[in-house]
């Protein structure tokens, strides 16, 4: 028998979450973001479950080519743009869309033979990662407009879309730049889709919402109508009984203050569970909530089963997913759902299920 850990992927939840996004932004087309191996869920698996999307966004040319070869005909956007001039030839050959975000992208476009290409010209409205500054942006758009066979969409990305005060200033900057052109626009990530309808424009770019995790620290995924897609499951593989004063795991971080029954779960940081999760991080055993005790090790973690005398070796464990939102585990561990989902390691088998 294989080690009992597995990540179940609920394909129906992916398509249901896409519908939630559509209902939230009914006048926009949806560019489903499936970068980072679809936030850890499997690129192709997610693309098929999200095939009703109007387009996809990835980072790697190879991922985009794979999608084309699998028959996906929608626009596919390379979110970090071309890394080398030659990438633009491949992008044209596979009818990909490319983010244009720096000066040499403009030059690569201009020196090449005229070729049909969709470009998303990116404005830096305060994130200060990718994109043309407000003073350089008009020149970038004008130079792309001068090229034959080039279709242009204007885009930006918010640094604080998850905060009420995070939208207005960058939105005004973008609107001031974009209003000079009658061109389609794309601004909104998951947080802006839910919190700022005025940013929806022509294309929304949901990522995390599709995977059933909340982009907000203070609004749960279920309150947004989202369903968890990944459930990370394992089992109790050993039980220990600690006397008062005994400890469990490396560094003896957890010390029993009363007689404590401890379940050892086959899941550790080499599976992608966060090593920095503190004592008290929630874990479900036999459907009941209990707490992590002791340091997470490479292949195992420990939970308190004192209150669950019926749960022993073989008891089913949910690390996150059904019944335990990944955002709660992430919050306890001082990170965000995005990081936990992306960090699931290749050694964890993924199993698809319909609903
Ligand atoms: C990753 C990404 C998104 C999706 O963001 P979420 O917060 O996961 O919805 C959208 N746009 C860009 C440019 C991105 O890099």
Ligand 1 atom nearest 35 alpha carbon: 1
Q: How far is the CA of 187 from the centre of ligand 1 (A)?
A: 10
Task: Look at residue 185 in the predicted model and tell me its pLDDT.
Answer: 98
CA distance 121 to 55: 17
Nearest to 176 by CA among 203, 144, 205, 154: 154
Q: How far is the CA of 157 from the centre of ligand 1 (A)?
A: 8
Query: Is 35 one of the annotated active-site residues of the chain?
Result: yes
Q: How far is the CA of 117 from the centre of ligand 1 (A)?
A: 22
Residue 79 CB less than 6 A away from ligand 1: yes
CA distance 339 to 250: 24
Task: Look at residue 1 in the predicted model and tell me its pLDDT.
Answer: 85
CA distance 355 to 349: 18
Ligand 1 atom nearest 206 alpha carbon: 9
Q: What is the DSSP string of 330-341?
A: HHHTTS-HHHHH
Q: What is the DSSP string of 261-283?
A: EEEEES--GGGT--TTPPTT-EE
Please give the chain's pLDDT, 355 residues, in tens. Answer: 899 999 999 999 999 999 999 999 999 999 999 999 999 999 999 999 999 999 999 999 999 999 999 999 999 999 999 999 999 999 999 999 999 999 999 999 999 776 789 999 999 999 999 999 999 999 999 999 999 999 999 999 999 999 989 999 999 999 999 999 999 999 999 999 999 999 999 999 999 999 999 999 999 999 999 999 999 999 999 999 999 999 999 999 999 999 999 999 999 999 999 999 999 999 999 999 999 999 999 999 999 999 999 999 999 999 999 999 999 999 999 999 999 999 999 999 999 998 8
Task: Look at residue 114 in the predicted model and tell me its pLDDT.
Answer: 64
Pairing between strand 350-353 and 6-10? parallel
Among 63, 98, 100, 189, name the best residue to mutate to test ligand 1's pocket (greatest count of ligand atoms within 8 A of Cβ). 189
Kindly compute the dihedral angle of the four CA atoms of residues 168, 172, 173, 176, in this order, to the nearest 10 degrees: 170
Residue 101 CB less than 6 A away from ligand 1: no
């Amino acid at each position: 028998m294989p080690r009992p850990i597995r990540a179940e992927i609920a394909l129906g939840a992916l398509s249901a979450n896409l519908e939630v996004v559509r209902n939230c932004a009914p006048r926009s087309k949806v560019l489903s973001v499936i970068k980072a191996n679809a936030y850890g869920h499997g690129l192709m698996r997610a693309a098929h479950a999200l095939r009703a999307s109007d387009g996809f966004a990835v980072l790697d040319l190879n991922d985009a080519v794979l999608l084309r070869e699998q028959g996906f005909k929608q626009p596919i956007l390379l979110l970090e743009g071309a890394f080398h001039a030659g990438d633009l030839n491949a992008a044209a050959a596979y009818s990909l869309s490319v983010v244009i975000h720096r000066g040499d992208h403009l030059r690569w476009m201009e020196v090449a033979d005229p070729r049909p290409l969709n470009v998303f010209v990116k404005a830096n409205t305060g994130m200060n990662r990718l994109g043309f500054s407000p003073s350089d942006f008009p020149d970038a758009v004008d130079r792309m407009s001068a090229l034959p066979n080039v279709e242009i969409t204007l885009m930006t990305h918010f640094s604080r879309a998850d905060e009420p005060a995070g939208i207005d200033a960058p939105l005004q900057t973008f609107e001031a730049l974009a209003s000079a052109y009658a061109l389609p626009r794309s601004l909104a990530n998951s947080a802006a889709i839910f919190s700022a309808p005025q940013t929806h424009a022509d294309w929304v770019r949901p990522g995390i919402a599709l995977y059933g995790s909340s982009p907000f620290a203070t609004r749960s995924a279920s309150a947004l109508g989202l369903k968890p897609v990944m459930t990370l499951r394992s089992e109790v593989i050993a039980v220990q009984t600690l006397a008062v004063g005994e400890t469990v795991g490396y560094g003896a971080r957890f010390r029993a203050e009363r007689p404590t029954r401890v379940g050892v779960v086959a899941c550790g940081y080499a599976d992608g569970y966060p090593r920095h999760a503190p004592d008290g991080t929630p874990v479900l055993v036999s459907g009941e909530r209990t707490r992590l005790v002791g340091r997470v090790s490479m292949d195992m973690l420990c939970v308190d089963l004192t209150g669950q005398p019926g749960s022993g070796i073989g008891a089913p464990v949910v690390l996150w997913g059904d019944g335990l939102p990944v955002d709660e585990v992430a919050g306890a561990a001082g990170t965000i759902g995005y990081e936990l989902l992306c960090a699931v390691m290749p050694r964890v088998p993924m199993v698809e299920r319909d609903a």
